[in-house]
């Protein structure tokens, strides 16, 4: 049960960030200001209401799964988690809320694009860290072959 929750939450959190990232880039390159405002609003709701619980669920279930286990892969996954959570809660959430407000008011000034850049950067960092946690998780669960040394 905890394993299933962890698997689903981990993939959902990663998928949500990929969706935020791609929809932002596509709409800002090809879309009208109204389309940008719609995407920014969808990122806040339902987007953040999916992302934040998914990150929390992945972290809590991950720590629960690791209680009875030791090893380098687990320690590395644990170390990445505070960065994933801080990036999500301290950068992605406030950035999404600010960008939604500004886009719905039609104010696409320098500050909008600076915060947008920060959001895309934080999103990319989280995607890399979550991708590494997925890779190490699949090694731990045996779905993805680990080498002898890393499996221990
Ligand atoms: C957002 C962060 C995380 C993501 C995306 C993630 C992703 C995954 C995935 C996809 C699996 C494979 C599950 C399966 O094949 O059934 C897994 C397994 C695992 N993860 Fe995570 N994980 C995250 C955070 C953590 C944290 C913080 C820990 C705590 C150390 C952790 C501990 C584990 C353990 C112990 C397993 C092996 C479970 C088993 O025995 O099958 N994970 N993780």
pLDDT in tens, 99-117: 999 999 999 999 999 999 9
Ligand 1, from 7, 11, 79, 133: best to mutate by most atoms within 8 Å of Cβ? 133
- Tell which atom from ligand 1 comes closest to the C-alpha of 81: 27
Range of the domain at 44: 2-151
State both tokens at 27: 């709409």
Nearest CA to 137 out of 57, 60, 53, 62 is that of 62
Look up the pTM and report it. Answer: 0.93
Supply the residue whose CA is at minimum distance from atom 25 of ligand 1: 62
d(CA 145, CA 87) in angstroms, rounded, equals: 30
The count of structural domains within the chain is 1
For residue 65, the ligand 1 atom closest to its alpha carbon is 35
pLDDT tens-digit profile of 128-142?
A: 999 999 999 999 999
Dihedral of CA atoms 57, 63, 65, 69 in degrees, nearest 10, equals: 160
């Amino acid at each position: 049960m905890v394993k299933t929750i962890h698997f689903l939450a981990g993939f959902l959190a990663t998928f949500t960030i990929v969706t935020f990232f791609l929809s932002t880039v596509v709409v800002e390159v090809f879309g009208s200001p109204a389309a940008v405002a719609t995407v920014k609003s969808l990122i806040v709701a339902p987007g953040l209401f999916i992302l934040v619980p998914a990150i929390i669920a992945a972290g809590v279930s991950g720590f629960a799964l690791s209680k009875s286990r030791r090893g380098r892969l687990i320690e590395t996954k644990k170390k990445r988690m505070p960065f994933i959570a801080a990036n999500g809660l301290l950068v992605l959430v406030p950035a999404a809320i600010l960008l939604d407000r500004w886009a719905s008011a039609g104010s696409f000034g320098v500050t909008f694009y600076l915060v947008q850049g920060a959001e895309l950067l934080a999103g990319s960092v989280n995607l890399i860290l979550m991708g590494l946690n997925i890779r190490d998780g699949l090694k731990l669960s045996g779905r993805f072959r680990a080498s002898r040394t890393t499996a221990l």
